[in-house]
Chain A
Amino acid sequence: MADHPVALSNVGFSFGEGALRRPVLRGLDLTVEPGEVVLLTGPSGSGKTTLLTLVGALRAMQQGSCVVLGQELLGAPESARVALRRRIGFIFQNHNLLGFLTARQNVAMALELHPDFGDEAARLGMAGEILGRVGLADFADVVPAKLSGGQRQRVAVARALVAGPGLILADEPTAALDRQSGRDVVDLMRGLAKDRGMPVLLVTHDPRILDVADRVVAMEDGRIVG
């Protein structure tokens, strides 16, 4: 168990109280192997996004066991969850870059949280390097408003990966992109993750990108169905 970056067993989660209580996850089990790219699919309302917020320590657990990067999340205090989030790279449906910072500064923000990445100059240097890896070397000092949608999402991928996280969580990273940009973004993500042995848990509706996965997990009504 401890070797798995993500290990869920019998996880249950409900929204609402009393008569309005609505379960979204029911007794769910899932493990992700080191370096594995796992793709979660399923109709909307199947609970895949809720699952992602639990694994990402963005929500408090209700029942079952969820061990992420060695941290048991059931009953974990806020401080432990904040500390765990620093070891996870997040990629959202929208890029959510800070509009008043350049691409390079946005990426460097992810390094500010870790004292071992050195001073400001070292952080900006690392940020520039990874921006080169996602093909944006020439756009490092441009603010997000001057980038295309695909370029912004590539900056977001760079930001998620720059600090060398133990796990990458992505929620519909291609939803707001055209076919080619979306393809570029997931290919980049997969390439960088594979190079560094980072496992990826990716939620998507997009059938065009199913082939990036090592394993596709389908969900329905809060359970894994295949």
Chain B
Amino acid sequence: MLPLRLAWRQLRAERARLFSAIAGVMFACVLVFMQLGFRSALFDSATALPQAMQGELFLIHPLTTALFRPETFPRVRAYQTLALPEVQVAVPIYMAQAIWRNPVNGTHRAIQLIGFDTEAGAVSFPGLDALIPALKRPDTIAFDWKSRPEFGPVPALLAERGPFQVEIGHRMVEIVGTVALGASFGADGNAVMTETNFRRLVKNRDTSNIDLVALRLRPNADPLTVQKQLTALLPGDVTVVTHDQLVAWERNYWETATPIGFIFAFGSLMGLIVGMVIVYQILFADIASHLAEYATLKAMGFSAGYLRLVVMGAAAILAGLGFVPGILASTGLYRVVAKATLLPLRMQADRGFVVLALIFGMCSIAGLLAMRKLRDADPADMF
């Protein structure tokens, strides 16, 4: 306790230096929070589509890397699963990207189309249920209001004039309402429609080939048992996965097959290094400007270990004092960024603990490096 108190008194004496150190730690803290937040938001948003699917089991082509870029497989696989009495419904799902024309300024942008039997109850997005009757009409879609703003102010236009026409893939379709799904790094926006309307929109598509199948099981069926039975039953052009596995499949793509996970880890590391250098500079300057006093303490019989504790205590104090404003600022920034990017960004307790540990680690390393300067405090030079 005594070394910690001495460290605090020393830090407190130099206000300007203390504040620049706190600002440095806070900066590192915010940077790491933002990087980890973006990383997590990316994975959350990338998996928004599989998250929203409600099946117990899914069929997917083993070579599919991610759902925005699926490999197709024969539609008949969906019906083959009905051979098992445990399978209640099998819903084929079509996915494709098409060009959307902004209804206000005419700019083009790729939109993710998702087509399936909306009445089967295997896939549902918030807001979809109310639109089911309207979506039965030819050339109708439901627009994802969480799509990026480049698609145009669709919700505002809907509120203003009611259902209206837009152009997707050189075909006029009617927007009958909105659902909530969320923009991801793979798709800037989404449109949901029935299977039939999907076929009308995507003409060059062989309808006997599908991208995904959602299976609903009878209430008392065990998904893992059925998964084994289906795997044995079906040919090798499909893989049977549970809901969690489907989400993990999508997440795995973003984590391993893209440099995105690495980029955010690298960004966090950069923040930590910058913070460490700042803290090191402050601690080093504190020792260097008090060398005579430290040497005097050594001459008085304070051990080198006591002085090391003073330095580490100062590092720990800076970590704590920088973390508190850092986490507050990050929480605020998350709100601002979430509003601007529509990515699901929010403060989470477990991330807070991870960053707290990283910041303390960062300051400890800075302390250990600065500590070497203590060797220059030689009491024999004092006389």
Q: Which residues of A are in contact with B by a Cβ distance under 8 Å? A: 49, 52-53, 56, 58-59, 82-88, 90, 92-94, 96-101, 105, 109-110, 112-113, 159, 171, 203
**Chain A hits for B382, CB < 8 A:** 58, 90, 92, 96, 171
Q: List 27 A-B contacts (CB under 8 A).
A: A49-B383, A52-B383, A53-B380, A56-B299, A56-B379, A58-B299, A58-B380, A58-B383, A82-B303, A84-B301, A85-B298, A85-B301, A86-B301, A90-B296, A90-B299, A92-B382, A92-B383, A96-B295, A96-B296, A96-B382, A97-B293, A98-B10, A99-B290, A100-B12, A105-B9, A109-B300, A110-B300
Map CB proximity to A onto B258-278 as digits: 1 under 8 Å, 0 otherwise: 000000000000000000000
Secondary structure call for the B interface: helix
**Chain A hits for B290, CB < 8 A:** 98-99
Task: Report the Cα distance A85→B304, complex, angstroms.
Answer: 13
**Chain B hits for A98, CB < 8 A:** 10, 290, 293
Interface magnitude class on chain B: 20 to 34
Q: Which residues of B are in contact with A by a Cβ distance under 8 Å? A: 2, 9-10, 12-14, 290, 292-293, 295-303, 379-380, 382-383
Task: Report the Cα distance A77→B70, complex, angstroms.
Answer: 72
Task: State whether A96 and B292 are in contact (beta carbons under 8 Å apart), knowing that A53-B380, A101-B9 are contacts in the complex.
Answer: yes
Task: Report the Cα distance A59→B9, complex, angstroms.
Answer: 30
Inter-chain contact A113/B302, CB cutoff 8 Å: yes
Inter-chain contact B301/A113, CB cutoff 8 Å: yes
Task: Report the Cα distance A152→B296, complex, angstroms.
Answer: 15
Expressed in whole angstroms, the minimum distance between the Cβ of B1 and any Cβ of chain A is: 10
Task: Report the Cα distance A132→B303, complex, angstroms.
Answer: 29
By CB atoms of chain A within 10 A, which of B290, B298, B301, B379 has the most?
A: B301
Task: Report the Cα distance A96→B299, complex, angstroms.
Answer: 11
By CB atoms of chain A within 10 A, which of B292, B295, B380 has the most?
A: B380
Inter-chain contact B13/A99, CB cutoff 8 Å: yes
Inter-chain contact A92/B296, CB cutoff 8 Å: yes
Task: State whether A59 and B380 are in contact (beta carbons under 8 Å apart), knowing that A98-B293, A100-B9 are contacts in the complex.
Answer: yes
**Chain A hits for B298, CB < 8 A:** 85
Expressed in whole angstroms, the minimum distance between the Cβ of B306 and any Cβ of chain A is: 9
**Chain A hits for B9, CB < 8 A:** 100-101, 105
Task: Report the Cα distance A101→B21, complex, angstroms.
Answer: 21
**Chain A hits for B297, CB < 8 A:** 109
